[in-house]
Amino acid sequence: MKKLEELKELSDKDLKERLDAEVIALTQLRINHTITPLDNSGSLKEKRRNIARIHTELRARELKNDQ
């Protein structure tokens, strides 16, 4: 889980910035895919999973701070 370890090392601010960037990239990929089908449609799935990983890490930190 190299990606998960990488996310845990980032600060909250960096995570939120990366989340914004991933959401924008996913939106752009979807638009491009609608116009011209992508060669690798798996990239959409990968972007969604990255977004979910970031949300999970942010939520875990939020719960940890509440305790």
The per-residue pLDDT for range 1-53, each reduced to its tens digit, is 578 888 888 899 999 999 999 999 999 999 999 999 988 889 999 999 999 99
pLDDT at site 62: 92
SS percent in the chain: helix, strand, coil, step 5: 85, 0, 15
Task: Report which of 67, 58, 60 is spatially closest to residue 12, judged by C-alpha positions.
Answer: 58
Distance CA 27, CA 10 (A): 23
| pTM of the predicted protein model | 0.87
